[in-house]
Chains A and B, each alone.
Chain A
Amino acid sequence: MNSKAQRLMKLFWSTFGISAFTFGGGYVIIPLMQKTFVGKLKWIENNEMLDLTAIAQSSPGPIAVNAAILVGYKTAGKTGALISTAGAVLPPLIIISIISLFYQAFRDNRYVSLVMSGMSAGVAAVVIDVVITMGWDILKSRRITAIAMMFIAFILAAFFSVNVILIILAAGIVGYIQYIMKRKKA
């Protein structure tokens, strides 16, 4: 096997492995990637990894997938990006496919349904906890526009069922106007 193919194989199995063991969302995957690609394989420098992280977080879509795309692109160009995306997407695809097959039978089982019901209360608490932390950060920032935007967006989404995509677009425009105004002042 030539060295390029070897590199691609290594890239695939690295992202596959990282993705298969990333429980608990995108923020966990960044330190894991850093360990593998900066520490072990030395394909990426530390500073560059920080910038790639910023790009992964600034782009739409799952952070884990975005980070994989960037690492792949950096190490082996477009082919690399394709390979590492496949590596990142396959583990959840396989696992959820298997669960889906058994889902109906699984859900109809009395014990499973009791566990799922308890867990649904648990997941609600987990998500509310995240929202409290994030919302508190915004309140603490004391930026009036941000706080007002948060409350208006919440009321529109929760009580008036306004299309969430419209809210995001509107908020993006407000963010851009703020940026222009900040630059004018500077």
Chain B
Amino acid sequence: MIYLQLLWSFIQIGLFSIGGGYAAMPIIQHQVIDIHGWLSMQEFSDIITISQMTPGPIAINSATFVGIQVAGLPGALVATFGCVLPSSIIVMSLAYIYYRFKGLEAIQSILQGLRPAVVAMIGSAALSLTALALCGEDWFSSNIDYTNAAIFIICLIILRKWKPNPMFVMAGAGILGLIIGLLT
């Protein structure tokens, strides 16, 4: 039963995360936290953080992580399988259409129409992650974590200004968090 739930959830994640990379984030948040409660917001934030530091797409990393937490290694395999199943079918159909008709125009214009909504939803998920990092599980509560707020602002300025590899920014943020935490 739990395997079927995992499979169906990650099929939906695979099917509706359109636009690559962070586009999977809001769908995973919706399925895994809001609907099934398999992860807390804190654990979700952790897996996004881990995803940034390890190779592999966020969706696959989350599938493995959630699968193991909920139903062990078989759960991880089922969730990962579900995650790649829709794209395998769709990608191969599109490849067939491409080799047969050489036409991708319709698909690409629909995709362009989708883009603003995808950006908006990544923005919404980004807002949850920021709220969690700065205010804890209690959304927009008054007890702001000033250490994290400072780290957040410094990182954002550095990212906007010099566009470094995000991995280095995250590593720096971690080290800064450790140093300030030990000093205070």
A153 to chain B, nearest CB (A): 4
A33 at interface by CB-CB < 8 Å = no
The answer on a CB contact under 8 Å between B21 and A175 is no
The answer on a CB contact under 8 Å between A127 and B90 is no
B4 at interface by CB-CB < 8 Å = no
A sample of 20 inter-chain contacts (CB < 8 A) reads A24-B166, A55-B95, A58-B94, A61-B86, A62-B17, A63-B57, A69-B87, A89-B84, A93-B76, A96-B54, A97-B73, A100-B64, A121-B147, A122-B169, A123-B45, A123-B52, A123-B133, A131-B119, A134-B122, A154-B120
Taking A24-B166, A93-B76, A131-B126 as known contacts, 11 extra A-B pairs with beta carbons closer than 8 A to each other, sorted by chain A number, are A27-B21, A59-B91, A73-B91, A97-B76, A114-B177, A118-B181, A119-B53, A120-B45, A120-B129, A138-B116, A165-B27
CB 8 Å contact bits of B150-168 with A (1 = contact, 0 = none): 0111011001100001110
Interface residues of A in 89-119 (CB under 8 A from B): 89, 91-93, 95-97, 99-101, 103, 107, 111, 114-119
Contact of A60 with B21 at beta-carbon distance under 8 Å, contacts A115-B174, A121-B133, A138-B116 already known = no
B86 to chain A, nearest CB (A): 6
A116 to chain B, nearest CB (A): 6
Within 8 Å by CB of B133, from A63, A120, A163, A165, lies A120
Main secondary structure of the interface of A (DSSP, over half): helix
Q: List residues of chain A with CB under 8 Å of any chain B CB.
A: 19-27, 51-52, 54-66, 69-70, 73-74, 78, 81, 85, 89, 91-93, 95-97, 99-101, 103, 107, 111, 114-132, 134-135, 138, 146-147, 149-154, 157-158, 161, 163-165, 167-168, 170-172, 174-176, 178-179, 182
A117 to B65, CA, bound (A): 19
Q: For residue A92, which residue of chain B has the nearest CB?
A: B56
A89 to chain B, nearest CB (A): 6
CB 8 Å contact bits of B85-129 with A (1 = contact, 0 = none): 011101110110010000010111111111111111111111101
The answer on a CB contact under 8 Å between B120 and A27 is no
The answer on a CB contact under 8 Å between A19 and B56 is yes
The answer on a CB contact under 8 Å between A157 and B124 is yes
Residues of A within 8 A of B61 (CB): 92, 96
In the complex, how many residue pairs between chain A and chain B have their CB atoms under 8 Å apart? 345
The answer on a CB contact under 8 Å between A175 and B112 is yes
The answer on a CB contact under 8 Å between A128 and B68 is no
What 6 A-B pairs come out closest when comparing CB atoms? A118-B177, A175-B113, A92-B56, A122-B173, A61-B87, A62-B57
The answer on a CB contact under 8 Å between A58 and B176 is no
Q: For residue B126, which residue of chain A has the nearest CB?
A: A127
A116 to B45, CA, bound (A): 10
The answer on a CB contact under 8 Å between B174 and A146 is no
Residues of A within 8 A of B21 (CB): 25-27, 63, 130
A121 to B157, CA, bound (A): 13
The answer on a CB contact under 8 Å between A168 and B114 is yes
B83 at interface by CB-CB < 8 Å = yes
Residues of A within 8 A of B110 (CB): 172, 175-176, 179
Residues of B within 8 A of A124 (CB): 126, 129-130, 132-134, 152
Residues of A within 8 A of B159 (CB): 125-126, 129
B98 to chain A, nearest CB (A): 6
The answer on a CB contact under 8 Å between B118 and A168 is yes
B58 to chain A, nearest CB (A): 8
Contact of A125 with B68 at beta-carbon distance under 8 Å, contacts A55-B104, A93-B60, A120-B129 already known = no
